[in-house]
Amino acid sequence: MTTDLDGVYQVSSASNYDGPLVKRSDGTTEIRNGQTSRRDGNNVLWSSTFTVLNETEVLMLSVADPANARIDFLLTAPNGTPTREPVTYRSVLRLARQGDKMQMSGQIEYGDEIVILTLRKVGD
């Protein structure tokens, strides 16, 4: 089974987090050979790998590194405290295809935070 995920994706998220940190993780990313790297609106570096598990599921592993993030921004550790350390997120995303359209979506649970993530392919 081969599923080519290469392309440009619009990343959008919704979270139950209601703390003081303004998260700006939405944007666009380009997946090539199952990998992507991008900086979000807080200058956090996101490095992700995508592994196709089957026709409807993709394993996503993302490391968010806030080392060069805006001075007023930190990530959230699993216990809910702010951190400047890298954070790893793992999720199995649902893969949906219709013609040349593709979307990956799923839920990331990290500590008490739940993030609904959607990656919609918008270009090659």
pLDDT tens across 4-60, in order?
899 999 999 999 988 888 889 899 999 999 999 999 999 999 999 999 999 999 999
Q: Looking at residue 1, what is its pLDDT?
A: 47
**By C-alpha distance, which of 8, 39, 7 is closest to 26?**
39
Q: How confident is the model at residue 120 (pLDDT cuts 50, 70, 90)?
A: very high
In this model, does residue 3 exceed pLDDT 80? no
| pLDDT value, residue 21 | 81
- Flag whether the pTM goes above 0.85: yes
CA 68-61-64 angle, 5° bins? 10
Chain-centroid distance of CA 79 in Å reads 20
* CATH number among 2.30.30, 2.40.50, 2.40.128, 1.25.40, domain 7-123: 2.40.128
105/113 Cα distance (integer angstroms) = 17
For the record, the structure tokens of 110 come out as 């990290």
How do the domains of the chain map onto residue ranges?
Answer: 7-123
Contacts with 70 (C-beta within 8 Å, 6 or more apart), sequence order = 42, 43
Tell me the pLDDT tens digit for each residue of 47-102.
999 999 999 999 999 999 999 999 999 998 888 888 999 999 999 999 999 988 99
